[in-house]
Structure 1
């Protein structure tokens, strides 16, 4: 083979060799999911806990990633077809295992209860224990569907601020929602000293992952790089620093 042909073939071979190169840029598509992903149309930049964790992990491995908005159904369809690298903050499900690789967990979703500081919540271990309290949740959120399916009596509020005020001023005992969003909004609204967030003791957290399309080029190596980077930023303290930036640390 001539030197000229060899010089043409080497870049072509590298492009199909599955090497994650420093000059490659990988785009992950997301939907708004505060505080994990802050990607509303009002935001000029995409950020959030999971976005920053993923970027920091890949940065530590010298892999460039960017994030763009896309409707969830289109993200899933595009991943099935191998047209995009993947998405952030998705859970591991059996139906997804046929076309996705899942990184090590980057965060988690845990069901929680928000109440006044003086309410004893130590005996609340499972969802059924909420029957002993007056409960409010946000209308049409997934948490309300859980209460309905579990036949737990509750009131619904049209938005989160109204639900918080119901606990603060209208004698509702508990706001039922997810842990990280609860902590984030308490910090955002300056209510950390008035309300507390307690875990449901008997509940296991649902891990969230970086999900990568199996058909996308370099997908397996992207997963390896992500997991290696995640271990690195946990070891050097950067992971905890990112989380604490969005959530109020709890002494309780």
Structure 2
């Protein structure tokens, strides 16, 4: 999805560099990997990789004099390929001690992942989930929802917990009244609600206290560069470029093009 309002800002970050390793000559494409997760990153019907984060990263890299090739892989393969230096970066990656052993992170957050409750029709719950014993909860396999909610899953205060692999599956269970709430990543879940035509059927659960969306957890994600294939100096250069993109209206312009009904969120989850 081309952006016609972006301007070239390469001079602000020095002359174009040939590769993330050498910093000389004509830039070679960087190879960046992530998982299929629309609208953040996904495979277009023509086979190309696109998405909100793909467009943001492409613009940031362009401002450093680089092009980027993107590839969608299962997440375990993404981590393996970048850690071994077969790819230059993994994006939409959280920070862990294990990942810092092979990856380099800038200071600029790529995106704040926000997990909220979704329900069939309007629903309000207390911030402390006093209603837990009455709730049938849908979650996604392999997702980390933050320390507080993951502890609740271990303590099992809910009436039932259903684990599924995909967002569409959980949305169908909501529609069939098989679960009461689904804990979903905000932007991807809104994307599928729109794609499946469920805007009038599925709602974001609100807090009884504030009327704002009931946020389960938030998680900062970044671009994690491979220590084996990328010069640390380039990580700093890219970070400044990404910061400039995030400071402008570029991100909002890109996200707005997907026409998702993104609500106002509470300042503190």
Alignment TM-score, normalising by the size of structure 1:
0.75
The residue aligned with 1:142 is: 143
Find out whether 1:111 has 2:115 as its counterpart: yes
The residue aligned with 1:174 is: 181
| Residues 137-166 of structure 1: per-residue CA shift (max 9 Å, x gap) | 156453799464241332537654453244
By how many angstroms is 1:56 displaced? 1.6
| Residues 231 and 21 of structure 1, relative CA distance in 2, 3 Å threshold | farther
Q: Give distance in 1, aligned partners of 2:135 and 2:20.
A: 60
The residue aligned with 1:31 is: 35
By how many angstroms is 1:65 displaced? 1.1
What does residue range 156-167 of structure 1 map to in structure 2 within 5 Å? 156=162, 160-167=167-174
Q: Give distance in 2, aligned partners of 1:107 and 1:169.
A: 32
| Residues 228 and 143 of structure 1, relative CA distance in 2, 3 Å threshold | closer
| Residues 217-248 of structure 1: per-residue CA shift (max 9 Å, x gap) | 43x23322322222222233111122233461
Find the residue that maps to 1:223 and give its secondary structure: helix
Instruction: Report which of the two has the higher share of helix.
Output: 1
By how many angstroms is 1:92 displaced? 0.4
Work out whether residues 115 and 197 of structure 1, in 8 Å CA contact, stay in contact via their aligned partners in 2.
Answer: yes
| Residues 15-61 of structure 1: per-residue CA shift (max 9 Å, x gap) | 89841655322111232233322148x76011122222111211233
| Residues 145-188 of structure 1: per-residue CA shift (max 9 Å, x gap) | 94642413325376544532443452743222222222221122
By how many angstroms is 1:102 displaced? 1.3
1:233 to 245, 248, 260: 245
Find the residue that maps to 2:27 and give its secondary structure: coil
The residue aligned with 1:195 is: 202
Work out whether residues 122 and 203 of structure 2, in 8 Å CA contact, stay in contact via their aligned partners in 1.
Answer: no
| Residues 235 and 108 of structure 1, relative CA distance in 2, 3 Å threshold | closer
Find the residue that maps to 1:51 and give its secondary structure: helix
What does residue range 114-125 of structure 1 map to in structure 2 within 5 Å? 114-121=118-125, 123-125=126-128
Find the residue that maps to 1:183 and give its secondary structure: helix
2:221 to 200, 205, 208: 208
The residue aligned with 2:11 is: none
Alignment TM-score, normalising by the size of structure 2:
0.71
Q: How many residues align?
A: 233
The residue aligned with 2:69 is: 66
Q: Give distance in 2, aligned partners of 1:135 and 1:204.
A: 19
By how many angstroms is 1:133 displaced? 4.0
Find the residue that maps to 2:124 and give its secondary structure: coil
Could you list the runs of 5+ residues in structure 1 that have no partner in the other structure? 1-13
Work out whether residues 135 and 176 of structure 1, in 8 Å CA contact, stay in contact via their aligned partners in 2.
Answer: no
